């Protein structure tokens, strides 16, 4: 399978034409392209996975952009699989209901709503009008099964005109990193939004990602790595206003941005962020630290795997980055256990590690489990402990830990 991609050399927020590469993770396959045979997986097409920084607006972004249709038309990640995210959606519904006085008349559009998990939790709390927009046809089918009206399409100006001035609330969680044309995305939100409506965007907070050494957040589905300064610049470009923000613990550190057509009561500026990440040398120093961590992970895992039974849990996108970047394959990891039906029976891209269901890890009774979705480690360990009582758990990021 050939990867459709193009070089990216101009900042997608401010148009600055000089991007500074600082993190090179090597040639990596697409994270969510799973394969039917081990040979296909090992020989998966690869592209250079490089992050560059725009010194003008502060946005970090990949230097290679893969076609969105190839990435998202069929998607294997399901939001409902992670109870931690479900709980987060439930809390979000309660908080926004109170803050913006949402009621049964509220019209709520969730963009890239996946399998409808977020809208399902909101509807339980508010019982309002909901619509899911997601390009993945398989996920829209699941969402419709929850009686959530769902449209299989990429969000943009054409789709937005069907919702012109009708939306009280537009949510977009964990999608902004996936966008190439962020300007059109936000302009489309502006079209669909009522004059007094609100757009709520959540995305992993890049400053927290770097502070926590979470280099595995980098993969081709994540085209941009957001912080407050570039988000303010994008809102200003589109004629919208960032009126509030709040830090969320989900996904290793997430920022919630609340955006409206009217100005807020308080002015939000880049002063919220540390002055530490304002020079290219800061980013280059972090990159050097990432390479040191890579070596440590490889050495620790090689030492542990000597004579022991080792497997991994969660065939996640971030896990694919970690496995390929650190050179971890079937010589160290027997298999990856996962609970997503679409992933079971497939092989992980680049490494060829088989992906199996929960029964396999019960039968195997491993000595160690490498947790690839470390952001849900507590939930995973709680789930597995009764099933494999003698196993120890390896958490590779943000710091190597054996539990």
Map out the domains of the chain as residue ranges.
79-263, 282-402
DSSP run (H or E) holding 65 = strand 64-66
Q: Give the angle subtended at the CA of 343 by the CAs of 341 and 348, to the nearest 5°.
A: 165
Q: Give the angle subtended at the CA of 194 by the CAs of 189 and 195, to the nearest 5°.
A: 110
Please answer whether residues 131 and 151 qualify as being in contact, where contact means their C-beta atoms are separated by less than 8 angstroms. yes
Q: Which stretches does DSSP call E strand in 264-367?
A: 310-313, 336-337, 355-356
What residues contact 114, with CB distance under 8 A and at least 6 apart?
Answer: 75, 77, 78, 79, 134, 136, 139, 143
Shared fold status for 79-263 and 282-402: yes
pLDDT at 155: 95
Give pLDDT < 50 ranges for the chain.
Answer: 271
- Specify the length of the chain in residues: 403
Nearest-angstrom CA–CA distance, 275 and 44: 40
pLDDT at 164: 97
Nearest-angstrom CA–CA distance, 14 and 58: 10
pLDDT at 62: 98
Closest CA to 228 of 192, 184, 185, 269: 269
pLDDT at 90: 95
Nearest-angstrom CA–CA distance, 19 and 58: 10
CA dihedral angle for residue 322, residue 327, residue 329, residue 333, rounded to 10 degrees: -60
The answer to pTM > 0.85 is yes
Nearest-angstrom CA–CA distance, 192 and 286: 40
Nearest-angstrom CA–CA distance, 143 and 368: 36
CATH number of 282-402: 3.40.50.720
Query: Chain-centre distance of CA 298, in angstroms?
Result: 24
pLDDT at 169: 98
pLDDT at 73: 60
Beta bridge partners of residue 311, listed in sequence order: 369
Superfamily of chain region 79-263: Vaccinia Virus protein VP39 (3.40.50.150)
């Amino acid at each position: 399978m050939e990867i459709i991609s193009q070089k990216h050399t101009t900042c997608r927020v401010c148009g600055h034409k000089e991007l500074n590469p600082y993190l090179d993770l090597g040639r990596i396959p697409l994270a969510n392209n799973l394969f039917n045979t081990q040979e296909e997986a090992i020989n998966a097409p690869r592209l250079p996975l490089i992050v560059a920084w725009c010194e003008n607006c502060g946005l970090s972004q990949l230097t290679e952009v893969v076609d969105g249709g190839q990435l998202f038309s069929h998607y294997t990640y399901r939001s409902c699989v992670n109870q931690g995210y479900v709980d987060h959606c439930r809390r979000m519904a309660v908080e926004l209901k109170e803050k913006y006085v949402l009621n049964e008349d509220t019209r709520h559009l969730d963009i890239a709503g996946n399998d409808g998990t977020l809208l399902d939790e909101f509807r339980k709390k508010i019982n309002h009008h909901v619509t899911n927009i997601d390009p993945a046809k398989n996920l829209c089918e699941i969402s419709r099964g929850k009686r959530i009206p769902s449209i299989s399409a990429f969000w943009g100006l054409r789709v937005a005109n069907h919702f012109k001035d009708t939306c009280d609330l537009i949510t977009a969680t964990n999608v902004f990193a996936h966008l190439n044309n962020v300007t059109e995305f936000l302009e489309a939100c502006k079209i669909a939004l009522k004059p007094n409506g609100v757009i709520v965007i959540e995305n992993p907070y890049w400053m927290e990602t770097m502070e926590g050494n979470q280099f595995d957040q980098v993969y081709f589905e994540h085209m941009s790595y957001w912080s407050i300064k570039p988000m303010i610049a994008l809102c200003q470009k589109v004629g919208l206003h960032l009126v509030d923000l709040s830090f969320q613990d989900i996904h290793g550190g997430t920022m919630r941005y609340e955006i409206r057509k009217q100005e807020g009561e308080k002015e939000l500026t880049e002063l919220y962020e540390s002055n530490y990440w304002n020079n290219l040398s800061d980013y280059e120093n972090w990159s050097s630290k990432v390479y040191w961590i890579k070596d440590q992970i490889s050495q620790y895992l090689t030492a542990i795997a000597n004579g022991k039974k080792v497997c991994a849990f969660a065939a996640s996108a971030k896990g694919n980055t970690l496995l390929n970047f650190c050179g971890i394959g079937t010589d160290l990891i027997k298999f990856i256990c996962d609970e997503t039906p679409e992933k079971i029976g497939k092989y992980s891209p680049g490494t060829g590690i088989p992906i199996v269901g929960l029964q396999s890890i019960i039968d195997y009774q491993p000595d160690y489990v490498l947790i690839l979705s470390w952001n849900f480690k507590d939930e995973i360990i709680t789930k597995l402990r009764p099933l494999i009582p003698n196993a120890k758990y390896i958490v590779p990021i943000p710091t190597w830990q054996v539990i």
